[in-house]
Structure 1
Amino acid sequence: MANVCFLLADGYEDSEMKNPYDAMNEAGHQTVVVGLEKGAELKGKKGTVAYTSDFSISEVKVDDYDAVIIPGGSAPEALRVNDEVVEFVKQANEQGKVIAGICHGPQVMISADILKGVNTTSYIGIRDDLKNAGSNFLDQEVVVDGNIITSRTPKDEPAFIKEILNKL
């Protein structure tokens, strides 16, 4: 079974965390929530779910994980300005780990500068940011390009989850 790291900060899209997280656990994978601080209570923007971070980003090593999942909402904005988060995602990509982002999740990948020449999708609001990062934006429910998996919105979660599970 795989070790899956969820990168999370306050204000994530509730279902984009809950549904992939539950699906990974149901499939028997080991999951951890990594935040900017250990033990922080992280609330979804709709208030339907909350998670406590198992580790801070400064405590984790990329080598310990097979996949990194980045839910959307406003959380990626808080994550992408943290140098340790950006370096973690950069290293995960260098090691060919699965990196999956939905909605605004790819913002962290943009900051890690790992999307040049990569096919991606996202929430329409960051489409131009993806293009400016050198990505080929596709308006599809899920796009898989090598180790990178991206999706648009909560309605695309089933396809997003399916592709993550396929990769693991």
Structure 2
Amino acid sequence: MRNRFLTPGLPFASFIFLSMLIVNVMGESAMQSAKEKKAVMIIASNNFRDEELLKPREVLEKNGVTVTVASSSLKEATGMLGAKVKPDILFTDITVTDYDTVIFIGGSGAGEYWDNPIAHKIANDANNAKKIVGAICIAPVTLARAGLLKNKKVTTYSSTINDIKSAGAKYTGNDVERDGNIITASGPAAAQKFGEAIVKALSQ
């Protein structure tokens, strides 16, 4: 009787092995599809939020995405928590067709892009080209004022909820929200999830 119950152990072990193999292959396939993708992350020239740049960038690069950092100045930018980052390019030199995703990073300095016509054009060009458009913390206000968030499910930092609602966005309060090709996140605590959501979108 005992043998009868033990015998299925071998096929079950084989099943587990095959399942793990399939998961591995699928994981590699997702990574392959994110590899060779290109992202541009736009930060404020001063007081960007450190985690909102560094964590998503780490996630993207680990998945084979090439990341370019853009800002309104080529001088070393300082984050709110002291991180020092030398931008690669001026945001005014961004050619949207060169990238698969355009990401606006938050922090108290990110308000410099809220009413910037070039930032609005970059966001609109990326959206019209069906690129992934990301924004975290207070940066969704830039997308809102560019006209991208009307009737879209969106999240943002608590201080800017009314700003996006007044632009017709549907605020959800989630850590990370995706509506079509637009991905938004609520703030520093959601930075990791934000990066993962962008990688997932790039892999689809």
TM-score where L is the length of structure 2: 0.78
1:28 to 61, 64, 88: 64
Aligned counterpart, 1:12: 48
Alignment of 1:48-67 (within 5 A): 49-67=83-101
Aligned counterpart, 1:41: 76
The list of structure 1 runs, each at least 4 consecutive aligned residues, that deviate by more than 4 angstroms after superposition, is: none
Q: Which amino acid aligns with 1:31?
A: V
Bigger strand share: 1
Aligned counterpart, 1:91: 125
Bigger helix share: 2
Alignment of 1:117-136 (within 5 A): 117-136=151-170
What SS does the corresponding residue of 1:162 show, helix, strand or coil?
helix
For the pair 1:164 / 2:198, whether they are aligned, the reply is yes
What SS does the corresponding residue of 1:101 show, helix, strand or coil?
strand
1:115 to 149, 154, 157: 149
What SS does the corresponding residue of 1:127 show, helix, strand or coil?
helix
Distance between the aligned counterparts of 1:155 and 1:8, measured in 2?
A: 18
For the pair 1:143 / 2:177, whether they are aligned, the reply is yes
Distance between the aligned counterparts of 1:91 and 1:154, measured in 2?
A: 27
What SS does the corresponding residue of 1:149 show, helix, strand or coil?
strand
Distance between the aligned counterparts of 2:89 and 2:175, measured in 1?
A: 31
TM-score where L is the length of structure 1: 0.94
On the 8 A contact 1:8/1:79 being kept in 2, the answer is no
On the 8 A contact 2:56/2:196 being kept in 1, the answer is no
Q: CA RMSD in A?
A: 1.2
Query: What's the % identity of the aligned pairs?
Result: 28
On the 8 A contact 2:43/2:106 being kept in 1, the answer is no
What SS does the corresponding residue of 2:130 show, helix, strand or coil?
coil
Give the gaps of 5 or more residues in structure 1: none
Q: 1:45 to 1:118 in 2, by over 3 A?
A: same
Instruction: Give, in angstroms, the shift of residue 24 of structure 1.
Output: 1.1
Q: Which amino acid aligns with 1:61?
A: T
The superposition leaves residues 118-147 of structure 1 with CA deviations (integer Å, 9 ceiling, x where unpaired) of 000011111111110000000111111000
Give the gaps of 5 or more residues in structure 2: 1-35
